[in-house]
Amino acid sequence: MPKVEVCFTPQAFSLFANDEANVVVIDVLRATSAICTAFYNGVSKMIPVATVEEAREYQKNGFMAAAERNAEIVEGFELGNSPFGYMSNRVKGKTIALTTTNGTQAIEAAKNARKVIIGSFLNQDVVAEYLVAQQRDVILLCAGWKNKFNLEDTLLAGFFVEALLHNGYDMDCDSALAAQTLYNIAKEDIFEFLSKSSHRSRLSKLDLERDIRYCLTPNQTPVIPVLEGKHLVKMNVAVQAVSK
């Protein structure tokens, strides 16, 4: 029986070594929500990079580039990690280099995994369906906040744990059990449950309540971004259905 595990931070990822596992990277507020929104709005490719300097290099070479640090757009960039930045015809067909405080670091940590999938509430059901169809070990990698545990990523991990346990998966780690338990308490009103969380409070100070509400809304962007080499691309739906 395939198993599902939850890794709360990129720092801990190497402890979960499993070459057979599909990895879902989760950074609800807001990198993976922005990536899903970008592909849903026709972005062609995204290039996740670890540093602002790398993003600037791509910019100099004529690429669109996005950079966020500490929840704000870095000076000199037109895009950060707000999903609303990617709801525009301007991004259609484009390749965009992207660096964020946590999300792109998590992608970097997972890059050698069998498959790296981008998960958010915005694409929760299509990702869950894909994982269930695969019946392979799954590691849910939460981006957290600067390698500390965060709640919003944990709740989405809990959604996936719940979905997989009902569909042929087993779990053997306490972090999966904790995520599932927290998700089941929170699921009726995740926005309210997160009202005391540190990152919601961080973003509220920056007047980003609209972003938060959007990022917590299920199934707004039914696409599956996936890492291919150094690029994120949209998984082909036909492939989705049959690939093992």
**Residues at the contact surface with a second copy, assessed by CB under 8 A:** 8-9, 11-12, 15, 145-151, 154, 172-175, 177-178, 181-182, 185, 196-199
CB of 133 to a second copy, least distance (A): 26
What phi, psi does 10 have (nearest 5°)? Answer: -55, -35
Q: Give the closest residue to 136 by CA, choosing from 117, 110, 111, 155.
A: 117
Closer residue to a second copy in complex, CB, 9/95 = 9
Q: What tokens were used for 39?
A: 């592909």
Total residue count of the chain as it appears in this document? 244
Residue pair 62/176 in contact by the 8 Å Cβ criterion: no
Tell me the C-alpha distance between 95 and 65, whole Å.
Answer: 8
Q: Give the closest residue to 4 by CA, choosing from 166, 185, 232.
A: 166
Closer residue to a second copy in complex, CB, 108/129 = 108
Closer residue to a second copy in complex, CB, 114/148 = 148
CB of 144 to a second copy, least distance (A): 9
Q: Give the closest residue to 235 by CA, choosing from 221, 225, 243, 220.
A: 225
Closer residue to a second copy in complex, CB, 12/132 = 12
CB of 147 to a second copy, least distance (A): 6
Q: Is the dihedral of CA 201, 207, 209, 212 positive or negative?
A: negative
Tell me the C-alpha distance between 65 and 55, whole Å.
Answer: 6
CB of 158 to a second copy, least distance (A): 11
Q: What is the dihedral of CA 83, 85, 86, 87, to 10 degrees?
A: 90
CB of 63 to a second copy, least distance (A): 33
Q: Is the dihedral of CA 61, 65, 69, 75 positive or negative?
A: positive
Closer residue to a second copy in complex, CB, 12/233 = 12
Closer residue to a second copy in complex, CB, 17/241 = 17
Tell me the C-alpha distance between 191 and 194, whole Å.
Answer: 5
CB of 102 to a second copy, least distance (A): 13
User: Which residues fall within 8 angstroms of residue 180, CB to CB, at 6 or more apart?
Assistant: 158, 161, 162, 165, 171
CB of 66 to a second copy, least distance (A): 25
Closer residue to a second copy in complex, CB, 185/241 = 185
